[in-house]
Chain A
Amino acid sequence: MERPRWFAVGRACPSDDRPGYRAADAALVGDDTKLLVVFCSQHQDVVEVVRQISDRSGGAPLIGCSTAGEIAPGGPADATVVVAALGGPGFSVSTSLAEGASKDLRGAGVRAAAAVDGADDAERPYQLLMLLTDGLAGDQQEILRGVYGTLGAGIPLVGGCAGDDLSMTRTFQLYGDSVHSDAVVAAALRSDAPLGIGVRHGWRPVGEPMVVTESAGTRIYGLDARPALSHYLERLGISPSECSSTEELAQVALTHPLGLGSRGEEAHVRFIAGADFGEQSLLCLAEIPSESLVWIMAGDRDSVLHATDAACLESLSALEGRPPLGMLAFDCIARRSVLGEQGIKGEVDRIEVMASGAPMAGFYTYGEIARKKGVHGFHNQTLVVLSVG
C-alpha cells in the first residue's frame, strides 16, 4: 500500500564506496519523492556526492549544505554524507537558489523567498520555508529581513548556516545537482499535516544587562561605554592576565555567550567567536545592533542538554498529538564544543528518543534559523528542531 507521506534518512560513512549512492539509496524508500535535504562533510567530494544523489533521485528537488559535523540515527559523526528524503502526495515543495549573498544579503533573502511562489499547491494547511545559508557570507539577520519583508509573518522559517568543519574559509550550498558558495538555498515545504519548530539553547542571563555603546556589524567595540573585551571579562570576574590569548578567550566565551532580549522567548544567544586584544573588541557570529541591551549568559552541560529535550518537545507539541514522520536538527557547533564528544552523542540519543523511532537527521551549524513569531529569526548556540508530522 502506498504511504501517503513518508520521511527517511540515509547515511554514508567515510569508508563507504560511492557515498552519494549509498546515502541516497537508504533515504529514497518511497515513491513520489518531493524533497531531498543533504548534509555533506567537506571531507567528501561534494560535487561527486551531489551528482550521485541526483542520479538516484531522478531530479527530485534537492537542497543541502556542507557542515561542521553530521547528525543521523546512530549519533553524530564527521566526514559523512546524510540524506533526508520526504515524499508522497501530502507534501508540496519548491526550491530556490540565491547566489552572491555577501554582496547583497537582503536581496539574497528576497530571492530565496521566491521559493514560496513556486510551491504548486498553496492550499495545504501547513507550510514553512527551510533556509540553508552560507554562514560566512555576512550578517544572517539581514538575509532574514529580506525573507520576512517578502513573505511576511505567515511563513515560519527554519534552517541553519552551512559549516566547513571550523576551517572558516568556505562553505557549500547544494541546489539540484549543483554546488555553490556564498549562496542561500531554500525549500518551501507545504504539508497536509503539522510542521513543528522547537528552539532552545539552555543559557540563562546572569547579572545586569549591558548597553552595546559601540558596534559595527558583528563586532562590538564598546559595552557600557567601556572597551568591550575588558568589560566583558571584568563582568565575569576574570582578570586580563587570565585571558590574554585567543585560546583562553575561546574557553571563556564557550560557556559565556551574550544574550539579546526577545519578547516572551529565551534571549537570542550571540556566540563570541573571537576578540581583538589590541582594540579590545569582541567578534560575534551575528550582528549586535548598537544601543541594544545584552546580557552575559551562563549555562552548563546539563542546561544545554535540557534544552535539547525542550526543543524537541516544543517542536513535537505542534504536531497536535501525532507521532513525527521524521525530525531535522540544526545544532550549533558551539553547543558541540560545550557538550564534548560524549555529550553530543548523548544529545543525539535524546533526539532519537524524542523522535520515537522516526528517522532524524541534522548537522552542526554556524548559526541557526527559526522564526515562529516576531521578526527575529537568527540564533546562536541554539538547537533548532523541525518535526515533520
Chain B
Amino acid sequence: MAASGAQGSAADRLAQRREYLGSFGFVAALAASETVASAAQQAVERIAETFDAEMAAIVQSDRLIASIGYPAGAAPAADLWATATGDETAILVPGCGKCSASSVRLEHPPGATLVVARSGPAGLSRSEISFLNSLARVLSLRMSMLRLVEEERALREESERQAAEVAHLLEILAERQTKLEWLAGEQAALRRVATLVATGVPQDRLFAAVAEEVSKLAKADSVWMVRFESEDTVVVEALWERNPSGVDISSGFKIDGWYPAMTVQRWARSTRIDDPALLGGEIAAVWMRLHVRSAVASPIAVAGRVWGAVVVATADTDPMVADTEDRVARFTELIATAVSNAEASVALAASRARLVAAGDDVRRRIERNLHDGAQQRLVTLALKLRNVRDTVPGELADLRGQLLSIESGMNDLLDELREISRGVHPAVLSQAGLTPALRSVARTAAVPVRLEVQDVKRLPEAVEVAGYYVVSEALANASKHAQATVVDVAARVADDTLRIRVCDDGVGGADPALGSGLIGLQDRVEALGGSLMVASAKGVGTTIEVDLPIAESSAPPPALGG
C-alpha cells in the first residue's frame, strides 16, 4: 500500500475513500457506453483497475459477455462459470497462476455473474466485495437500460429497414410502371405509324408523322428524316422541331462534315455524336444555331441499300439515353417498308400506264387506218358506183335498182365502219376533246342519256381517253346488262381532278370482280393515279364515280400503299 506504515483503521478509511471515489469513474465510464456490450467491457476494465485485479469477467451460464485479463478470445467461459456458481473458489489467470476469485450475481442480464480474480495470497476483502456489489447493482441497472434502448433501437432500425424496403419496392414498381408506360407509348406510336404505312398515306405526311412520334419517344429537340439523294447530298424529307427555328431545308445539305449522316451512309449502322464541335460542313452552322449538343442517327435501309436516315438531336447537356438507337431503329424499319411499297407502287402504276398508252396507240392507229384506208376507199367506191348508176339508161331499171342496192349496202358498210372506228378511238375525241366526244356518245347511245358537263376543257390526252371510255363502257353496260331506261352522266373538273359520275336506273348488281369491262376501266383509271368507285346494289341501279387527277406529266403522282 502506498500509505505504508499507516494505522489499520486509517488504511481502511483510505480504502473506503478510494472505493467511494472509484465509483465515480465507474459510473462515468458506464454512462459513456452506448451498448450493452461496451458497458460490460468498460465495467470489467474499470473494476479490474479499481481493485487492481488482473482478471474481471461477466459470464452468463457458459456464455462470456465480457472479460479482461485473458488473451483476446481465449477467456475460459466454463471455468469462469464454475467460479460464478461457487463450484470453484479460484481460477487460473495467465501469468498469475491460481488466483482467488470473488463473484457477484448481476440482476441484469438475468443469470449473469461478475467474477473478479486478483493475484496474491488473499482475495478481495469483505469491504471490497461489498463495494463490488454496489458496482454490480449500478452495472445491472445500466445494462438493463441499455438493453431497452438497444431493443428500441433494433425495433426502430427494423422499422426503418422495412420502410426502406417498401420505398425501394415502390421505386422499382414506379420504374417498371414508367418503363411499361413508355413501352406502351412506343407500341402505340409504332402502331399509328404502321397504320399510316398500311393505308398508304402520302409520303410527306407519313414522314412528318414519324418525325413527330420519334421526337416524343426520344425526347428530342429535333428529328431529321433525310434521304441520301446522291453520294454527297442529303435531302431533308421531314423535319420536326420542338421550337420551330425556320431553318431552310428546301435545298438539302451537303453531307460532307455531317458525320452522323456520313457514318450511316457509309457503314449502314446507327451512330451517335456527343460533341457538336466535331461537326463540319453546312450542317455545323445550322446545328450550332439550334444548340444541338448530341445526336443519334439510324439508317433507313430499303432493298439492301441505305435509302436515308433518321437523325435525332437534342440541345440537352445530357447525352441521349443509351437505347435511343434501338428505339429509332424500330421506326426506320417501318419507314423502309413504306418507301419500298411506294417505290413498288410507282413502278406498277408506270407499267400500267405504259400498257394503256400502248393500247391507245394501237387503237388510234387502227382508227386512222380505217379512216384513211378502208373508209376512204369505200367512200371513193361508193362515189364511183353512184356515177356508174347515173350513167345507166332508164330502161335498165333493174340494173339501176341493183346498183342502188349495192350503193346502199356500201353506205351501211361505211356507217358500220365509222361506228367501229369510233369505238376503237373516236376521232372527235382527239380532234375536239372530251365534251364533244361525250355528247356524241350520248347521242348515239342505245339508252336515253341526260348529260351534264361543267367546265371541262381540253385535258391531257390520257385523261380524256380514260374519261371517254368510262362513260362509253358505263353506257354500254346500262343498255346491255342493266335494262336501264335512262342514264345520268355528269362530268366536271374540280381541284385539278376530272370527276365523272354515271348513274343508271337499271337492275344493279354489277361487280368489277365478275369480269365485266369495269376491270379494264379500273386498270386504266388507276394507271393515271385515279380512283374508280362502283355502287351497284341490286334493284337500285348502278353508280360509277371516277376521279382522275389532271397531271401535266403522264406519270401518276407518288402514292403509298398497294
Q: Given the interface contacts A145-B45, A266-B2, A295-B2, does A375 sit within 8 Å of B68 by beta carbon?
A: yes
* Chain A residue contacts of B119, Cβ below 8 A: 153, 373-374
Q: Is B2's CB under 8 angstroms from A152's CB?
A: no
Give Cα A156 to B118, complex, Å: 15
The distance in angstroms between the C-alpha atoms of A209 and B21, with both chains bound, is: 12
Do B96 and A291 touch across chains, with their CB atoms under 8 A apart?
no
The 0/1 profile, CB within 8 Å of B marked 1, for residues 248-279 of chain A is: 00000000000101111011000000000000
Stretch from B50-58, B505-513, B541-549 at the A interface: B50-58
Interface string of B44-72 (1 = CB under 8 A from A): 01001101111100000000000011111
- The answer to whether A153 touches B54 (Cβ under 8 A) is yes
Q: How far apart are B368's CB and chain A's nearest CB, in angstroms?
A: 114
- CA of A373 to CA of B18 in the docked complex: distance in angstroms? 20
Given known contacts A153-B96, A291-B25, is B69 in contact with A261 (CB within 8 Å)? no
CA of A118 to CA of B24 in the docked complex: distance in angstroms? 39
Q: With A259-B2, A261-B2 known to touch, is A154 a contact of B71 (CB < 8 Å)?
A: yes
Closest beta carbon of chain A to B19's beta carbon, Å? 10
B3 proximity list for chain A (CB < 8 A): 205, 209, 261, 295
A294 to B, closest residue via Cβ: B2
Chain B nearest CB from A191 CB (Å) reads 15
| Residue A290 CB within 8 A of the other chain | yes
Q: How many residues of A contact B (CB 8 A)?
A: 30
26 contacts across the A-B interface (CB closer than 8 A): A148-B68, A149-B68, A152-B68, A152-B72, A152-B74, A152-B95, A153-B54, A153-B93, A153-B119, A155-B94, A155-B95, A261-B3, A262-B2, A262-B52, A263-B51, A290-B25, A290-B28, A293-B17, A293-B18, A293-B21, A295-B2, A374-B53, A374-B54, A374-B119, A375-B45, A375-B52
Contacts A153-B94, A291-B21, A375-B53; A264 near B1 (Cβ below 8 A): yes
Collect the chain B residues with CB atoms within 8 Å of residue A102's CB.
none
In the complex, which residues 1-25 of chain B have their Cβ closer than 8 Å to any Cβ of chain A? 1-3, 14, 17-18, 21-22, 24-25
Q: Which of B45, B49, B72, B95 contacts A156 (CB 8 A)?
A: B95
Q: For the A-B complex with A152-B68, A152-B94 known, give 20 more contacts whose Cβ atoms are closer than 8 Å.
A: A151-B71, A152-B70, A152-B74, A152-B95, A153-B55, A153-B96, A156-B95, A209-B3, A259-B2, A261-B3, A264-B120, A290-B24, A290-B28, A291-B21, A295-B2, A375-B45, A375-B48, A375-B54, A375-B69, A376-B49
Complex: A152 Cα to B48 Cα, angstroms: 12
Closest beta carbon of chain B to A202's beta carbon, Å: 14
The verdict on A292 contacting B74 (CB below 8 Å), with A152-B94, A155-B95, A376-B52 known, is no
Residues of A within 8 Å of B68, CB to CB, are 148-149, 152, 375
CB distance from A388 to the nearest CB of B (A): 18
Partner of A373, one of B49, B54, B74: B54
Bound complex: CA A293 to CA B49 (Å): 13
Residue of A nearest to B28 (CB): A290
Number of A-B contacts (CB under 8 A): 95
Give A295 Cβ to nearest chain B Cβ, in Å: 7
- B95-A374 in contact (CB<8A): no
A211 at the A/B interface (Cβ < 8 Å)? yes
Contacts of A52 in B (CB 8 A): none
Q: Once the chains bind, are B2 and A150 in contact (CB under 8 Å)?
A: no
A73 adjacent to chain B (CB < 8 Å): no
For A263, the chain B residues whose CB sits under 8 A away are 1, 51-52, 118
| CB-CB under 8 A for A211 and B21, given A145-B45, A205-B2, A264-B120 | yes
Contact residues, A182-214 vs B (CB, 8 A)? 205, 209, 211
B118 CB contacts on chain A under 8 angstroms:
263
Q: For B73, give the chain A residue with the smallest CB separation.
A: A150
Interface assignment of A289: CB less than 8 Å from any CB of chain B: yes
- Picked from B1, B51, B93, the residue with its CB within 8 Å of the CB of A261 is B1
The 7 closest A-B pairs by CB, nearest first: A154-B94, A153-B54, A291-B24, A267-B2, A154-B95, A263-B52, A152-B70
Min CB gap A49→B, angstroms: 35
Q: Which of B14, B69, B70, B74 is within 8 Å of A293, CB to CB?
A: B14
Chain B's closest residue to A148 (CB) is: B68
Kindly state the separation between the CA atoms of A81 and B96 in the bound complex, as whole angstroms: 37
Are B14 and A209 interface neighbours, CB within 8 A?
A: yes
Measured CB to CB, the nearest residue on chain B to A149 is: B68
Q: In the complex, what residues of A have CB within 8 A of residue B21's CB?
A: 211, 291-293
Q: Which residues of B contact A148 (CB under 8 A)?
A: 68-69
B24 and A150 contacting across the interface, CB-CB below 8 Å: no
Q: How far does the Cβ of B467 sit from chain A's closest Cβ, in whole Å?
A: 102
Contact flag A291-B22 (CB < 8 Å), given A149-B45, A373-B54? yes
A292 x B54 contact (CB < 8 A): no
In the bound complex, residues from chain A placing their C-beta under 8 Å from that of B55 are: 152-153
Bound: A267/B18 CA distance, A = 14
Q: Which residues of chain A are near B28, meaning CB under 8 Å?
A: 290
**What is the bound-complex CA distance between A217 and B144, given in angstroms?**
29
Bound Cα distance from A145 to B72, whole angstroms: 12
C-alpha gap A150/B94 in the complex (Å):
12
Q: Complex Cα distance A153/B92, Å?
A: 11
Residues of B contacting A150 with CB < 8 Å?
A: 71-72
Give the distance to chain B from A31, nearest Cβ to Cβ, in Å.
31
Taking the nearest CB of chain A, how far is it from the CB of B140, in angstroms? 22
A378 to chain B, nearest CB (A): 12
Bound Cα distance A99, B380 (Å): 134
Query: Chain A: which residue is nearest B93 at the CB level?
Result: A153
Best-buried of A155, A156, A264 by chain B (most CB within 10 Å): A264
Alpha-carbon separation in the docked complex, A375 to B55 (Å):
9
Complex contacts, B69 vs chain A, CB 8 Å: 148, 152-153, 375
Cα A128 to Cα B96 with chains together (Å)? 14
Q: A127's closest neighbor in chain B, by CB? A: B95
Closest B residue by C-beta to A289: B25
Kindly state the separation between the CA atoms of A149 and B48 in the bound complex, as whole angstroms: 11
- Nearest CB on B from A298, distance (A): 13
Q: Which residue of A lies closest to B95 (CB)?
A: A154
Q: Which residues of B contact A151 (CB under 8 A)?
A: 71-72
CA distance A167 to B120 in the complex (A): 42
Query: Most chain-B CB neighbours within 10 Å: which of A148, A154, A156, A211?
Result: A154
Bound form: Cα–Cα A293–B18 in Å: 7
Name the A residues within 8 Å of B120 (CB-CB): 264
Q: What's the minimum C-beta distance from B32 to chain A, rounded to whole angstroms?
A: 13
Residues of A close to B93: CB separation below 8 A = 152-154
- What are the interface flags for B308-339 relative to A under an 8 Å C-beta threshold, 1 for contact and 0 otherwise? 00000000000000000000000000000000
